[in-house]
């Protein structure tokens, strides 16, 4: 079951008014999964009702430890470009963002896959477009295994069926070694220290936006935006063991049109992994996010236009 829980909000981009509604969805174990739906608000522009057909919805799933704020500016920018999608859903997965329920004891790609399917069922999504960032791709591929016909088109944001072991270990270690930020300026300093060599395209404004995507604001200070269960999941990784590889599940996407957005400086989705993906499926196209690493920020440069063109092709 899903219900609307908050007043309508609006954002403006290039003369287009975008409406944002907060939704709350009950999943199998009673957890309330928090999400948001974005639509063009034609009423606010005095143009009457919304179009009768909004087309296939786009469901945006953040990276493994990310949250729905990752997609706010991107959703507004994408809807400002007329055409599909007509609806964009952004989700805070179990234990992250506004679904930061302290009672959560376990989180894994399996529980994430369960929650994604529960969300689709609650909203009646029998055919959906998806945008998936980073290692949440592992949960998405489990969804594909269980419900092969769900996807119309899939956008992988520096996401793959396998991630480079060395790059994953380096990125994870740098993140865990960093001290928690004390101020928002300190948060930006930490990001520049840990990600500066990857994200060479970012200006000061972009760095500030990225900090606000990663950390939540608590009384004017940045705080981690995931629960202890998620933190335990991050710290339990054994770098001596090979990380998961779901190439068999990836092959099940042969009937789904794919777009890979890859950070040019990504340490996790390397040239070799991207080449193997293209060799495995001939229905995949690729966009390189210049001057970005893992995972690319989607609202800058021409990425919204590339996604728009892919969805409307």
Q: What is the pLDDT of residues 4-62, one digit of tens each?
A: 555 457 777 777 889 999 999 998 788 899 999 999 886 444 443 444 446 899 999 99
Dihedral-angle region of residue 30 (phi above 0 means left; psi in -120 to 50 means alpha; beta otherwise): left
Judge whether residue 177 has pLDDT over 80.
Answer: no
Residues facing residue 262 across a β-bridge: 288
Q: How would residue 235 be classed by pLDDT, with cut points 50, 70 and 90?
A: low
How far apart CA 93 and CA 34 sit, in angstroms, is 8
Write out the two tokens for 62.
């953040």
The CATH classification of domain 2-312, taken from the options 3.40.309.10, 3.40.50.1820, 3.40.640.10, 3.30.750.80: 3.40.50.1820
Q: Which pairing describes strands 151-157 and 257-263: parallel, antiparallel, or unpaired?
A: parallel
Rounded to two decimals, the pTM is 0.91
List all residues 6 or more positions away from 256 whose beta carbon is below 8 Å from its beta carbon. 151, 152, 153, 154, 283
In angstroms and rounded to an integer, the radius of gyration of the C-alpha atoms of the chain is: 19
Dihedral-angle region of residue 297 (phi above 0 means left; psi in -120 to 50 means alpha; beta otherwise): beta
List all residues 6 or more positions away from 27 whose beta carbon is below 8 Å from its beta carbon. 33, 94, 114, 115, 118, 119
Whether 134 contacts 168, CB under 8 Å: no
Cα–Cα nearest to 262, from 171, 198, 196, 172 = 198
Judge whether residue 192 has pLDDT over 90.
Answer: yes
Give the chain's mean pLDDT. Answer: 89
**Through-space distance between the first and last CA atoms of the chain, rounded to whole angstroms:** 33
Higher per-residue confidence, 119 vs 84: 119
Whether 58 contacts 35, CB under 8 Å: no
Domains of the chain: which residue ranges?
2-312
Judge whether residue 236 has pLDDT over 70.
Answer: no
Q: In terms of C-beta density within 10 A (0-12 exposed, 13-18 middle, 19 or more buried), how is residue 292 classed?
A: buried
Least confident of 68-72, 83-87, 183-187, 200-204: 83-87
Return the residue matching tokens 């080449």.
275
Judge whether residue 190 has pLDDT over 80.
Answer: yes
What pLDDT is recorded for position 55? Answer: 81
């Amino acid at each position: 079951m899903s219900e609307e829980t908050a007043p309508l909000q609006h954002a403006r981009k290039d003369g287009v008014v975008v409406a944002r509604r907060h939704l709350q969805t009950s999943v199998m174990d009673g957890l309330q999964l928090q999400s948001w739906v974005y639509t063009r608000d034609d009423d606010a522009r005095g143009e009457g009702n919304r179009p009768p057909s909004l087309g296939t919805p786009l469901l945006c799933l953040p990276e493994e430890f990310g949250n729905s704020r990752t997609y706010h500016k991107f959703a507004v920018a994408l809807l400002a470009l007329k055409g599909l999608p007509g609806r964009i859903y952004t989700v805070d997965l179990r234990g992250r963002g506004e679904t930061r329920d302290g009672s959560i004891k376990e989180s894994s790609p399996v529980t994430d896959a369960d929650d994604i399917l529960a969300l689709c069922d609650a909203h009646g999504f029998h055919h959906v477009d998806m945008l998936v960032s980073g290692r949440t791709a592992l949960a998405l591929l489990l969804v594909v295994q269980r419900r092969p016909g769900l996807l119309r088109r899939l956008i992988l944001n520096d996401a793959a069926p396998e991630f480079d072991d060395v790059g994953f270990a380096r990125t994870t270690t740098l993140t865990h070694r960093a001290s928690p930020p004390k101020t928002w300026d300190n948060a930006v300093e930490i990001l520049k220290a840990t990600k500066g060599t990857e994200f060479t395209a970012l200006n000061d404004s972009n760095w500030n936006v990225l900090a606000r995507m990663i950390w939540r604001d608590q009384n004017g200070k940045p705080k981690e935006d995931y629960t202890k269960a998620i933190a335990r999941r991050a710290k339990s990784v054994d770098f001596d063991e090979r990380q998961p590889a779901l190439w068999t599940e990836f092959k099940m996407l042969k009937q789904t049109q794919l777009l890979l957005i890859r950070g040019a400086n990504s340490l996790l989705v390397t040239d070799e992994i991207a080449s193997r993906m293209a060799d495995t499926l001939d229905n995949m196209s690729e966009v390189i996010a210049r001057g970005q690493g893992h995972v690319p920020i989607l609202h800058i440069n021409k990425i919204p236009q590339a996604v728009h063109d892919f969805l409307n092709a």
